[in-house]
Structure 1
Amino acid sequence: MMKRQANAPMKRISAEEAAGLVRPGMWLDYGAIFGQPDVFDAALAKRKSELSNVGFRSCLSVKPRAVLEADPEGEVFHWVNLHFSGYDRKMHDAGRANYMPVNLGEIPDYYRRFIEPIDILVVKARPMDADGNFNLSAATLWLRAMIERARMVIIEETTGIPHVLGDGVSIHKDEVDYVIAGDNAAAPELPNPAPSEVDKAVARLIIDEIEDGSCLQIGIGGMPNAVCSLLQDSTAEDLGIHTEMLTDGIIDLYRAGRITGARKQINPGKMVCTFALGSTYLYDAIDHNPDVEFHAVDYTNLPQNIMQNDKVVAINNTTQMDLGGQAASETDGHRHLTGTGGQAQFARGAYASKGGKSFICLSSTFERRGERRSRIVLGLTPGNAVTTTRADMMYVVTEYGITNLKGKSMAERAKALIALAHPDYREGLERDAYDNGLIPRGYFGATVKPS
């Protein structure tokens, strides 16, 4: 299929007509998060019996995908996913999702250099304005690269998503082949869990390391949210935001007056992100808000951009860490859970920033089938993917303390991380470290800041 001529008029058609454009063997792209189409998806699912070997890519589904629900055995629709949500994980467990390993900030380059052109790109956007632009809302990510590489572009028009400002947040009608009517449903919300006591303990340790003028990257989860909550009552002033994901917690800080961006070196005065996911409170806050700038993910996530701001503070979670400092944040053995996302890139960018700090947080233990286990281990679970390497690891935080691994030997790292483990596991971890040569006999050293 050839892309239409530049002067061909955009057409408005029905969802059924749009789905009728799909042919066997095509590759489609649905974009990401709540930018993924719903009305088109439902119409395409109804064509299952007419199609074969149709592939599609998407990322972080926030509601079930009709084509997958209609084809539970994967006979027709084949799915590649770039980062899992809870729904995506469930479908992967059922054998319906194939993960593509990515550094999120590199994805535009993947589309431009390595991924074959998209036959049809279908994404949600707000209704066209007087200038002929469709606002693509709060999932800027790699949309521009996909638009460049798509042979056909279909917009599912909806009023249910926020209008955002920034760079590359819209598509002009001259770049669009077809427009279909969406359902105007409100953007799905991601529940914001209340922080646990462990989350709060970790957050208190991080708060002490955040200075006036720090530029924050906040990841997803209870611990980063706890940091935002405690920062509201701290003395830190003139905080900035240069992050991948905008969250409810960041908006809380903004509303509390802690975020001004006045000391940022790039995009001063602006909260910079590439997507937003949270509650209606968040979506209302970003709608037409000139203090929030959305950019492509290769602007927000590449270390060479992150490091241009001083005092970058990157705060992210992991699920398991070995005694050398390798963080496995995306898998449980060979079972895929989430994705690499931007964790590794922000760890590098924050470290390279003048006065910057990267924090990887984890609770010391977790429970599985009623059994408590340590998250700090001698060796990672077989099959676990390393998200952030030991060479990139800077600060590690549990409820028992905080340590900086930069400049530490393997023995010093092992001793420091053992001190961050739950007390019930420290003796066993130390014995394993000695038995496996991580700590030479008689060695002593590294201390950690007490919790």
Structure 2
Amino acid sequence: MGIAERVRFPQFHNRIMDAAAAAALIPHGATVGMSGFTGAGYPKALPQAIAERAQAEHAQGRPYKINLWTGASTAPECDGALAQAHAIGQRLPFNTDPLARQQINAGEIDFIDMHLSHVAQHAWFGFFGKMNVAVIEVLGVTADGLLIPSTAIGNNKTWLEIADQVILEVNTKLPGAMEGMHDIYYGTAIPPRRMPISMTHADNRIGEPYLKVDPAKVIAVVETHGSDRNNVFNAPDADSNLIASAIIDFLTHEMQAGRLPKQMLPIQSGVGNVANAVLAGLLHGPFEQLLGFTEVLQDGMLDLLRAGKMSRASATAISLSAQAFEDFEKNLDFYRSRIILRPQEISNHPELVRRLGVIAMNSMIEADIYGNINSTHLMGSSMMNGIGGSGDFARNGYLSFFVTPSVAKGGKISCIVPMCSHVDHTEHDTQIIVTEQGLADLRGLSPKQRAKVVIEKCAHPSYRPMLQDYFDRACAKGALHTPHILTEALSWHQRFLDTGDMRV
């Protein structure tokens, strides 16, 4: 099906052009809001055309950069292409592209790391200034001028509302039969005019299946025919399986103790192999009629839906392996009634996370012995990806897990340290820490009690004596609420920077 069949709104037909012509409409210094969330639903052609324009301008000695706002991460043909062309001035709120990360850490790109639930509302409030152009991937346009959303919604609703101008990328490769899977809520408002969101269950539909746009804003329509960036999920390794087993056992125990209802509360799971291992564990666990309320629908949730273990899944994006996407496309009639795609200001809404009682599971870079969590920075200074939505769920979830292997770099780095080199989630947001060594339930514990449990349950054996020694000496030396030796608290990180190993 070509662009003529996908764009059924006659008013847009005379605005169809190629990507180069559309890129010429975006000036140097423009703030551009693009679609895209975790490698799904991002524009495929415009970023590369913008990159080519930037390279041509730079070759003539003229500056050319844009400020880039998205839902979350995109893909090499978006963030990667723009970074390669040195075409990004400012970036928010999340990035996974290695070249863009290098430029962020070199100070070339001004990166703003944000809670994903804050992005749309802060932009809508005008905190970041004007958005000049929105570049949004859609699957088509209805005869009434409504937009059929793609595989990710992210911040698209807000970008279409606040941008001065709009460029649509109509992707004719992704399945148009996804039409009707989306739920776009238009009931948000700026304080003090806000009203409660009418959602009491994770699978409630509260909005409309289409995005809206003022036709007068649309300055270009570009056809693309490309797949999303398919994630590659490896088979769970031994450590991931141990982490997953500990979480499943804990949830089973909580249910037996009456602290969880027999019909499990909605599940949120971060992205990656550990997250998929947990979902695989749920597939074989004792829980039935699960609900997903998360940001990204991954392979593991598709498996749960297909097996009948999960009844519905709500997300803002679908990010699958090539094999899983093939299954999704072949069985769209089955999945359409079981998957709901929403804007991220709903999928990550703190009020809804708390109201629904979401069980949150997110990865981390490191935890300290008192339960502070670093999700974003390597050795305190180098940005990895960003906080993403982990804070939205961790602070507001009914239960909140942070997971990581206990060591990295072949054992040269301990992921349990005396003091985090950067803190994204304080000890007050942390309930449960899990490594392949075990699970530390920190609920109702004082800082010193937490330290004992974290060292005993989560630290790797090669680092456990070092952590215990630090804690014992800190207790003997200073204040006894949260004992620290400030001259040593970050010495493990400095030792790694100096020698390549945290161990003495």
Tell me the TM-score range normalised by the shorter chain: 0.7 to 0.9
For the Cα contact (< 8 Å) 1:245–1:276, is it kept in 2?
Answer: yes
Residue 132 (1) aligns with residue 145 (2): yes
Q: Distance in 2 between matches of 1:166 and 1:35?
A: 13
**Match of residue 183 from structure 1:** 224
- For the aligned residue pairs, the C-alpha RMSD in angstroms reads 2.7
Give the one of 182, 198, 203 matched to 1:166: 182
Give the one of 400, 411, 435 matched to 2:448: 411
Q: Distance in 2 between matches of 1:67 and 1:440?
A: 52
Shift of 1:331: 1.3
Q: Distance in 2 between matches of 1:183 and 1:442?
A: 62
**Match of residue 449 from structure 1:** none
**Match of residue 498 from structure 2:** none
Flag structure 2 segments of 5+ consecutive residues without an equivalent: 1-9, 185-208, 256-261, 482-504
| Residue identity in the other structure for 1:429 | L
Shift of 1:77: 4.3
Residue 393 (1) aligns with residue 430 (2): yes
| Residue identity in the other structure for 2:248 | I
| Residue identity in the other structure for 1:294 | L
Give the one of 450, 453, 464 matched to 1:426: 464
**Match of residue 213 from structure 1:** 263
Q: Distance in 2 between matches of 1:438 and 1:216?
A: 42
Residue 34 (1) aligns with residue 81 (2): no
Give the one of 415, 419, 425 matched to 1:375: 415
For the Cα contact (< 8 Å) 1:244–1:273, is it kept in 2?
Answer: yes
**Match of residue 474 from structure 2:** 436
3-state SS of 1:316 partner: strand
Q: TM-score normalised to the size of structure 2?
A: 0.76
Residue 108 (1) aligns with residue 110 (2): no
Q: Distance in 2 between matches of 1:438 and 1:275?
A: 50
**Match of residue 363 from structure 2:** 317
| Cα 1:378–1:9 shift into 2, 3 Å | same
Residue 200 (1) aligns with residue 215 (2): no
Q: Distance in 2 between matches of 1:441 and 1:187?
A: 53
Shift of 1:70: 5.6
Q: Deviations over 1:423-449 (max 9, x none)?
A: 222121111112223998999xxxxxx
**Match of residue 278 from structure 1:** 320
| Cα 1:344–1:425 shift into 2, 3 Å | same
Q: Distance in 2 between matches of 1:361 and 1:77?
A: 32
3-state SS of 2:430 partner: coil
3-state SS of 1:64 partner: helix
Give the one of 307, 311, 335 matched to 1:256: 307
Q: Distance in 2 between matches of 1:371 and 1:279?
A: 29
| Cα 1:222–1:152 shift into 2, 3 Å | same
Q: Distance in 2 between matches of 1:109 and 1:362?
A: 31
Q: Deviations over 1:134-169 (max 9, x none)?
A: 222122121111111100011011122343522226
| Residue identity in the other structure for 1:208 | D
Shift of 1:392: 0.8
| Residue identity in the other structure for 1:380 | C
| Residue identity in the other structure for 1:240 | L
| Cα 1:313–1:438 shift into 2, 3 Å | farther
For the Cα contact (< 8 Å) 2:35–2:156, is it kept in 1?
Answer: yes
Give the one of 403, 406, 409 matched to 1:361: 403
3-state SS of 1:345 partner: helix
Q: Deviations over 1:333-392 (max 9, x none)?
A: 211111111112211221xxxxx311111111112xx553321110123xx3x2221111
Shift of 1:313: 1.6
3-state SS of 2:167 partner: strand
For the Cα contact (< 8 Å) 2:348–2:392, is it kept in 1?
Answer: yes
Residue 243 (1) aligns with residue 294 (2): yes
Q: Distance in 2 between matches of 1:440 and 1:398?
A: 29
| Cα 1:400–1:371 shift into 2, 3 Å | closer
Q: Distance in 1 between matches of 2:83 and 2:377?
A: 24
3-state SS of 2:359 partner: strand
Q: Deviations over 1:227-283 (max 9, x none)?
A: 1112212221111111111111111111111112xxxxxxxxx31111221224444
Q: Distance in 2 between matches of 1:55 and 1:69?
A: 11
Q: Distance in 2 between matches of 1:140 and 1:17?
A: 25
Q: Distance in 2 between matches of 1:150 and 1:436?
A: 54
Residue pairs, 1:296-375, within 5 angstroms: 296-310=343-357, 312-332=358-378, 333-350=380-397, 356-367=398-409, 372-375=412-415
Shift of 1:106: 1.3
| Cα 1:160–1:188 shift into 2, 3 Å | farther
Identity %: 24
Q: TM-score normalised to the size of structure 1?
A: 0.84
3-state SS of 1:360 partner: strand
Residue 234 (1) aligns with residue 234 (2): no
| Cα 1:401–1:441 shift into 2, 3 Å | farther
Q: Distance in 1 between matches of 2:83 and 2:370?
A: 42
Q: Distance in 2 between matches of 1:145 and 1:60?
A: 17
Q: Distance in 1 between matches of 2:212 and 2:43?
A: 18
For the Cα contact (< 8 Å) 2:47–2:82, is it kept in 1?
Answer: no
Q: Distance in 2 between matches of 1:395 and 1:379?
A: 17
| Cα 1:399–1:56 shift into 2, 3 Å | same
Give the one of 36, 43, 52 matched to 2:49: 43
Shift of 1:187: 1.8
Residue 142 (1) aligns with residue 180 (2): no
Q: Distance in 2 between matches of 1:439 and 1:180?
A: 67
| Residue identity in the other structure for 1:119 | N
For the Cα contact (< 8 Å) 1:411–1:438, is it kept in 2?
Answer: no
Q: Distance in 1 between matches of 2:95 and 2:349?
A: 21
Give the one of 82, 100, 106 matched to 1:68: 82
For the Cα contact (< 8 Å) 2:160–2:212, is it kept in 1?
Answer: no
Q: Distance in 1 between matches of 2:84 and 2:394?
A: 40
For the Cα contact (< 8 Å) 2:367–2:373, is it kept in 1?
Answer: yes
Q: Distance in 2 between matches of 1:104 and 1:61?
A: 14
**Match of residue 263 from structure 1:** none
More helix by share: 2
Q: Deviations over 1:42-100 (max 9, x none)?
A: 322332344635323144122234753563xx3x5424132121434345356554321
Flag structure 1 segments of 5+ consecutive residues without an equivalent: 1-7, 261-269, 351-355, 444-451
Give the one of 10, 14, 35 matched to 2:18: 14
